[in-house]
Amino acid sequence: MDVRAKKALGQHFLTDQSIAKSIVDALAQDSEVPGVLEIGPGMGVLTKYLLQREDIDPVMIEIDKESVDYLLTHFDGIEGKIIEGDYLKLDVTGLFEGKYRVIGNFPYNISSQIFFKILEDKDRVPEVVCMIQKEVADRIAERPGTKVYGILSVLLQAWYDIEYVLSVGPGAFAPPPKVKSAVIRLKRNSRTELGCDEKLFKTVVKTAFNQRRKTLRNALKPLLKEGADTTDPVFDLRAEKLSVEDFIALTALLS
Ligand code: SAH
């Protein structure tokens, strides 16, 4: 029997096999990093193709007991590879030797939190392939100067090159979600450090976008020290105009 879809867990099961295969194929052939973490395998539509790949040694994390039981009864040799639990609380430290990659049709309600958690481990995660809500994918992949460019775009683009893989309509899922979906691929860029305080960089980006309609001079007021010099023309701009490099320069100005 199939798993009963639970809305609260963001369960929309992909039923289109050719799309499932394309998603797994989007993960590069890379025998250097066999460890792959699949977030939210559900009934295993991606897992099936992951298990077929010689270069991949997957581990699955799934919060839903019913899905875990389903996977255990439908896939041979999966015991020991599947963890029942919440990815957001998972300690990945000892799970893989060194680096690992991430794949998943993410639960859309927590996709931003998933990305923030991946960013915390960015130096161990060279590649991510995931399906998310199309609107979020557009935002992440967007360039500066557009309305949807935001916090996740800057923080992810600072460390990853983002590639739009494909769009997926609601009909490819059971039950169909209300929104369109898209698959993106994140590949770690060569940046090893920002050249400015990383914590302050995150704070600056978040603060600037939280009041995105204000100029940076006003939006960043809470971060400015007494009598801080804001004559630099960058302070006349709004957050959405700034590239990753601009935010790095701005952070340096503020520290
Ligand atoms: N990969 C499957 C299921 C996608 S739906 C498919 O493509 O069909 C999202 C899956 O994530 C569900 O199975 C859901 O139970 C699981 N999930 C939701 N929140 C989770 C969390 N915090 N940690 C791990 N898995 C989670």
Q: What is the pLDDT of residues 80-89, one digit of tens each?
A: 999 999 999 9
Q: Decide if 2 is inside a domain.
A: no
Mean pLDDT across 202-216: 97
Q: Is the pTM of this model over 0.75?
A: yes
On whether both 66 and 146 belong to a single domain, the answer is: yes
Testing ligand 1's pocket by substitution, the residue of 14, 36, 50, 64 carrying the most ligand atoms inside 8 A of its CB is 64
Task: State in Å: Cα 162 to ligand 1 middle.
Answer: 22
Show which of 188, 209, 241 is a domain's final residue.
Answer: 188
pLDDT at residue number 89: 98
108 lines ligand 1 (CB under 6 A): no
What is the length of the chain?
A: 255
Under the banding of pLDDT at 50, 70 and 90, the label for residue 190 is: very high
Q: Which domain holds residue 140?
A: 7-188
User: Ligand 1 within 6 A of 194 CB?
Assistant: no
Q: Is residue 1 part of a domain?
A: no
Report the 10 Å Cβ neighbour count for 213. 9
Q: Are 100 and 125 in contact (CB under 8 A)?
A: yes
Average pLDDT, the chain: 96
For atom 21 of ligand 1, the residue with the nearest CA is 86
Instruction: Please identify, by atom number, the ligand 1 atom nearest to the C-alpha of residue 15.
Output: 8
Which CATH number goes with the domain that contains 88?
3.40.50.150
pLDDT for position 225: 87
SS (H, E, C) the chain: CCCCCCHHHCCCEECCHHHHHHHHHHCCCCCCCCEEEEECCCCCCCHHHHHHCCCCEEEEEECCHHHHHHHHHHCCCCCCCEEECCHHHCCCCCCCCCCCEEEEECCHHHHHHHHHHHHHCHHHCCEEEEEEEHHHHHHHHCCCCCCCCCHHHHHHHCCEEEEEEEEECHHHEECCCCCCEEEEEEEECCCCCCCCCHHHHHHHHHHHHHCCCCCHHHHCHHHCCCCCCCCCHHHHCCHHHCCHHHHHHHHHHHC
Pairing of strands 181-188, 35-39: unpaired
Does one domain contain both 37 and 139?
A: yes
| Same domain (yes/no): 143, 212 | no
Q: pLDDT category, 53, cuts 50, 70, 90? A: very high
- Whether residue 57 is found in the same domain as residue 138: yes
Residue 35 beta carbon below 6 angstroms from any ligand 1 atom? no
In this structure, is residue 95 part of a structural domain? Answer: yes
Residue 40 lies in a domain: yes
Q: Residue 255 has what pLDDT?
A: 87
Cα angle at 118 between 135 and 205, to 5 degrees?
65
Domain boundary among 188, 208, 229: 188
80 and 61 inside one domain: yes
Distance CA 61, CA 64 (A): 9
Nearest to 16 by CA among 39, 45, 40: 45
Residue 227 has pLDDT above 90, yes or no: no
Within this chain, do residues 159 and 215 fall inside the same structural domain, yes or no?
Answer: no
pLDDT of residue 77: 86
Integer Rg of the chain from CA = 20
Q: Are residues 214 and 162 in the same domain?
A: no
Whether the upstream peptide bond of residue 175 has omega within 30° of 0, thus cis, is yes
Q: What is the largest CA-CA distance in the chain?
A: 67
Q: Is residue 164 part of a domain?
A: yes
